[in-house]
Chains A and B, each alone.
Chain A
Amino acid sequence: DAKTTQPNSMESNEEEPVHLPCNHSTISGTDYIHWYRQLPSQGPEYVIHGLTSNVNNRMASLAIAEDRKSSTLILHRATLRDAAVYYCILKGNRDDKIIFGKGTRLHILP
């Protein structure tokens, strides 16, 4: 099963950009990179996903390395409401187990 590696925690100042890294050295060619986040006392929510090219949406940007062995979720201007656990997962077009890992706990300092 393809796995991802993320730092346990990160800290950032409010209104600053945040770069959350994810390593996925065993990614296969058809695996999409998905990011979810879980705010306190809530279920996870979808943030963004991509395959090869960088992606942008209203919540964040996803930068994918050329060799696809790593990616970075970018929050352009962090707010206190962005404090959450961020999960990076791989999802292919096959019946494999979905592995969330422990994620990165992001702390935002006012």
Chain B
Amino acid sequence: KAGVTQTPRYLIKTRGQQVTLSCSPISGHRSVSWYQQTPGQGLQFLFEYFSETQRNKGNFPGRFSGRQFSNSRSEMNVSTLELGDSALYLCASSRLNYRGQETQYFGPGTRLLVL
């Protein structure tokens, strides 16, 4: 079974631009979560989508948004990029809502550099 895939793997943008990252979950998984990882803040939860609905959201500004499609694939968008948005963006999928006993499977991440 193929794992979680993320595209692109690397991206360079400039301040003020916007970016869209894509995540394809494991086949049959209906939940997708997004995380931002930086050396200073560690791994921080952005949001979770299940059945095309945002079910959970972390403490990030409205510039960070996402969506999930009917095939469970998900995209995350960051508008008006700032230097501090440079990070590794990780996507994780789980069969159902990530609750209780459910486990998440992570992709390799997209490394975003904002200049």
Contacts and interface: CB of A to CB of B under 8 A. Distances in A.
A97 B56 contact: yes
A17 interface: no
Contacts of B98: 91, 98
B54 to A, nearest CB: 10
Contact of A98 (B4, B33, B42, B106): B33
Contacts of A45: 105-106
A62 B37 CA distance: 26
Interface in B61-104: 90, 92, 98-104
Interface of A: 30, 32, 34, 36, 38, 42-46, 49, 51, 87, 91-103
Size range of the interface on B?
A: 20 to 34
Interface of B: 4, 33, 35, 42-45, 48, 55-59, 90, 92, 98-109
Contacts of B105: 45-46
A103 B37 CA distance: 12
A86 to B, nearest CB: 12
A97 B101 CA distance: 16
25 contacts: A32-B100, A38-B43, A42-B108, A43-B4, A43-B106, A43-B108, A44-B43, A44-B92, A44-B104, A44-B106, A45-B105, A45-B106, A49-B101, A49-B103, A91-B102, A92-B99, A92-B100, A97-B58, A97-B59, A98-B45, A98-B48, A99-B45, A100-B35, A103-B42, A103-B43
